[in-house]
Structure 1
Amino acid sequence: MEKRMIKVLGTQTDLKGEKNTIELTTEGKVYEKNNHMYIVYEETEISGMEGATTTLKIEGDHKVSMKRYGGMDSQLVFEEGKHFTSQYKTMFGNFRMDVKTSTLKVNLSRQNQKGKIEIVYDVVISGLTETKNTLEISVM
């Protein structure tokens, strides 16, 4: 298990075109298990999810799973061109969350466990909100 600096840049655009961008740089852990690479980091108040832990499971170049625990639990699966439905668990109740990934680029080196993941996806939460999102995760 290696300690690495993790930089997360996320942009969310609602249907009105209003953008919200969050940038987080934090220390995290990178390790390999069962032929998959994992990236684990703690969220901060900058991301609005202070106290939550995010785990990314990289399954080759075509699939990335993201799990968040603590406060608001969620699981997202990103596979280019595919649709994924899950539950978004908050203190206000559970909501259906639909994710459709349009772009997934994984460029991580197994040798030095550094690189970048780029994801472009749409999210609909129980018909309440709909956003277009970009997520860039850099492992340094």
Structure 2
Amino acid sequence: MKPVLVTVQSIQRDEDGQELKLELVSAGKYYCKQNVQYIVYEESEITGMAGVTTIIKLLPDSAVLLRRGTVRQRQVFRKGSSFKATYKMPFGEVMIHMKTYEMEIHLVEGIGTVRLGYDVTIEGIGTSYNQLTITVQEDNA
């Protein structure tokens, strides 16, 4: 495992065009196992998910985001594909539907960027377009 610094920049645009931008910087870990790359980091109060570990699993044709802790989630991203998932929170579960439009993975030995663009529809709430840029750097601390 290699210690890394993970920067997650998120832009959510709702149906009315309103944008919400968030940025999280967290110490994390990178490793590769059987040609699958993994990025692991802890969420924080900024994201509203303190106590949650996020694992990003990068495969040749898809990315899988796993969250464990007070929030449990599994999202699959594959360009041009739609997926359903359950988002489990302390106060209940929500069904989400996702369609991925953009997916670029540029990591060399754990350093680089992952870019995702996707729609999320949350049952009973609405749809938003999301852009996620994950930058992984060496942690020299």
Please, what TM-score do these two structures have when normalized by structure 2? 0.94
Q: Hey, what does 1:85 align to over in structure 2?
A: 84
Written as runs of structure 1 = structure 2, the 5 A alignment for 1:15-34 is: 15-34=15-34
| Structure 1 residue 37: Cα displacement | 0.4
Q: How far apart are 1:91 and its partner, in Å?
A: 2.0
Structure-1-length-normalised TM-score: 0.94
Alpha-carbon distance between aligned partners in 2 of 1:70 and 1:13, rounded to the nearest angstrom: 27
Residues in 1 aligned to 2:12 and 2:87: alpha-carbon distance in whole angstroms: 17
Write the letter of the residue equivalent to 2:125: L
Where does residue 94 of structure 2 map in the other structure? 95
Q: Structure 1 residue 4: deviation in Å?
A: 0.5
Matched residues in 2 for 1:73 and 1:15: separation? 26
Alpha-carbon deviation of 1:30?
Answer: 0.2
Q: Does residue 121 in structure 1 map to residue 123 in structure 2?
A: no
Task: Give percent identity, aligned residues only.
Answer: 36
**What is the match of residue 132 of structure 1?**
129
How much has 1:118 moved relative to structure 2? Answer: 0.3
Letter in 2 for 1:85: K
Counterpart of 1:46 in 2: which secondary structure? Answer: helix
1:69 matched to which residue of 2?
Answer: 68
Q: In the TM superposition, what is the alpha-carbon distance from 1:84 to its structure 2 partner?
A: 0.7
Letter in 1 for 2:39: I
Task: Give the length in aligned residue pairs.
Answer: 137
Q: Structure 2: which 5+ residue stretches go unaligned?
A: none
The list of structure 1 runs, each at least 4 consecutive aligned residues, that deviate by more than 6 angstroms after superposition, is none
